[in-house]
Every structure is written in C-alpha cells, then in structure tokens.
Amino acid sequence: MASDTPTFGVYVHIPFCAKRCDYCAFATWTDRMHLVDAYLDACTADVDRAVGNGMPEATSVFFGGGTPSLVPADALMRVLEHIPLARGAEVTVECNPDTVDLALLRAYRGGGVNRLSFGVQSMVPHVLASLGRTHDPANVTSSVEAARDAGFESFNLDLIYGAAGEALSDWTTTLALALALDPPHVSAYGLTVEPGTPLADEPERHPDDDDQADKYLVADRLLADAGLASYEISNWAKPGFECRHNLLYWSQGEYLGIGCAAHSHRDGVRWWNVRTPERYVDAITANRSPIAASERLDEAERRIEALQLALRTRDGVPTGALPEELEDLVERKGDRVVLTVRGRLLANEVALRLS
C-alpha cells in the first residue's frame, strides 16, 4: 500500500444531521440547518485561504460528518470546485440512505465525486432501532441502485455490529444482504461506547466483547468468501477499491481539515478547529484562524504512532518491531510481521508490545 507518489488529503466536515444516533460522539447537530449556507460559504473561503497559502493538490477528498447528503448538492459541489485536485484524485461523500436519490447522486457525479460511503450499519430493522438509526433497509438497496445508475463504480457500505438485541443471525443477515449488493468495499466496526452519548448512559445496552469477537470472525470469513480482502482491521475491499483517503491517515500522511472540529496534519504538526459550526463561521467571516489547538509529536512518539497505525493494516510492521513469542497473533511475511485474524481481535494488546 505504500507509494512513492506524494499524497495530500482534504477532509471537509459537514456537521448537520436529521437525527443523532445513540452511539454518536462526533461534532454533529440536528438543530443547525439554518446555518447550512453560511457554513458552506465559510468552508469555501477556508479552502481559498489554504490554496492561497500554497496548499498542494489533493490526491483524496472526503466529505464526512454528520450527513453530507443532507445539504444541497450544488452547495457541496461548490466547495469541491475550489479544492485543487491531482489527476485521478479520489473524492468521497458520506451518504445516509434516507437522503439519497438518483438526482442527488448524478449531481455529485457531475461535480467530480467518484466514490460514495453509505451509512448502512444494519439491514435488520430492530437492530437499527437499537442503534437509534432511522433509515429503512430497503433504502440501502435503492441507494446502491441509484449509485450505479449515476455512474459510480466505487462505493462503501458502512456496517456496525454488537448492538443490544443483535443476535448472531441478525448480523449474518446484514452481511448477506449487504453482500447481495456486490459492494466493492465494506467497513465493519464493533459498536463502541463513547462518553456523553445516550448509549453510555445505559450499561444494559453496552456491547459484549465475546459477542463482538464472534461477529468479527463471521464478517471476515463471509467478506473474504465474497472476494473482499482485509486491508485494515475494520476494512475489506476488492482489489483496487481500497479507500485511498483512509490509507493516507494510516500512513501518517498529510491532510487539511476544513470545517468545525476538523483535524489537520502537516509538517509534523497536528491541529484541530473550533468544535461548533457557529464559532467556525464567525472565525472565517472575521478572517480569523478557526484553529482551536495544536500539538507536535517528537520523533519517538511519531515512530511509535507510525508502527501502531501500520500494525492495523495488511502491510504490518518490520519484523524487529515486535517480539517473536506472540504465537498465533502475528505471522511473518518476508521482512514484515502482520496480524493474524486472532491478532486483529487483540490488536490493542499486540500494539503494547511494539518497540
């Protein structure tokens, strides 16, 4: 997955949602739709400022959130128009299946978007209800059909396992129905409990580690059988459909975050913007910096972080970075050591042994 070609990513955060999911701790709001126009204008102005300061061409752009597909497509595409793109750049928009139709996706495709990521989470209604999700599973099928009709070859289905009340058979159903759509990329994440969320306040709904491990193993087997290879602990893709923007993150690449709460990394410095859309709009409008804080890792910290990130991927880490007595948790591939399937389940514990 390594490349000698310089890469640079742009992440644009769209913080608007119709409903907040019970597990979500992201910087998103359900009562700020009146700010959409001013917010996207501020994003465009922020991009223009970065370009004026010598921002490189982007090899990947990712519109995330929040629910980017909730805002007008023409306004979103105006932001994209201002981002200088390298030839063949990957441009992704996250979509909620409830807010997608053929006209919207055609507008994206015409505006330069070439990859979509659908927030599916589950294809079983009672599991979606347990997660606090609102979409109808049938909308997933219609969204994928619309994506293909609009000319999209590359798209992701985002899944979550481990919700309260989700039987192993429910998870298998979700995987089977998702794979029936022949996706080129699937992300599958174990449900996590984030402080301050409704899920955190209800311990009886918290996921069980053993249950999640069983579901991960089922996912890895079924996805592999369908021709999607694991290239990062939570991500599977057909050859050539790996998400280049996420690969940039996992390789400590450089990227610029546009929008409230967006993170950036350049020249060894990481920084993040003010959290609320109002403060972001106010800062950009007043020609002030929207940066809230920053940090610089020293060389040793960057080295360990690079190993921790690489360990999650199928490229693994150099053989000398891990002790040899980790039994069935890792396997040697040439001069690299990669996690086995069991090792992926215990990746955090393995990462503690990096040196």
Q: What is the pLDDT of residue 2?
A: 42
Q: pLDDT tens digits for 140-199?
A: 999 999 999 999 999 999 999 999 999 999 999 999 999 999 999 999 999 998 898 888
Q: What is the mean pLDDT of residues 59-64?
A: 98
Q: pLDDT tens digits for 15-34?
A: 999 888 888 888 888 899 99
Query: Is pLDDT of 307 > 70?
Result: yes
> What share of the chain has pLDDT > 70, as a percent?
98
CA dist 80 and 99 (Å) reads 20
Whether the upstream peptide bond of residue 66 has omega within 30° of 0, thus cis, is: yes
Q: What is the pLDDT of residue 20?
A: 84
Q: What is the pLDDT of residue 5?
A: 62
Query: Is pLDDT of 4 > 80?
Result: no
Q: What is the mean pLDDT of residues 293-308?
A: 95
Contact 128, 186 (CB under 8 A): no
Nearest residue to 113 via CA among 96, 91, 97 = 91
Distances (CA, A) of 278 to 42, 64, 119, 158, 159: 10, 18, 26, 29, 31
Nearest residue to 155 via CA among 186, 115, 189 = 115
Give phi and psi for 128, each to the nearest 5: -60, -40
Q: What is the mean pLDDT of residues 245-272?
A: 96
Query: Is pLDDT of 256 > 90?
Result: yes
Adjacent-strand bridge partners of 158: 119, 187
Q: What is the pLDDT of residue 184?
A: 98
Give phi and psi for 318, each to the nearest 5: -60, 150
Indicate the range of 21-35, 106-120, 139-153, 248-262 predicted with least confidence. Answer: 21-35
Residue 267, judged by CB atoms within 10 A of its CB (0-12, 13-18, 19+), counts as: exposed
Domain map of the chain by residue range? 8-250, 300-351
CATH superfamily of 8-250: Aldolase class I (3.20.20.70)
- For the entire predicted model, the pTM comes to 0.95
pLDDT band at 224 (very low <50, low <70, confident <90, very high): very high
Q: What is the pLDDT of residue 230?
A: 98
Query: Is pLDDT of 1 > 70?
Result: no
Q: What is the pLDDT of residue 22?
A: 83
Q: What is the pLDDT of residue 132?
A: 84
Q: What is the pLDDT of residue 199?
A: 83
At a CB cut-off of 8 Å and minimum separation 6, what does 142 contact? 97, 100
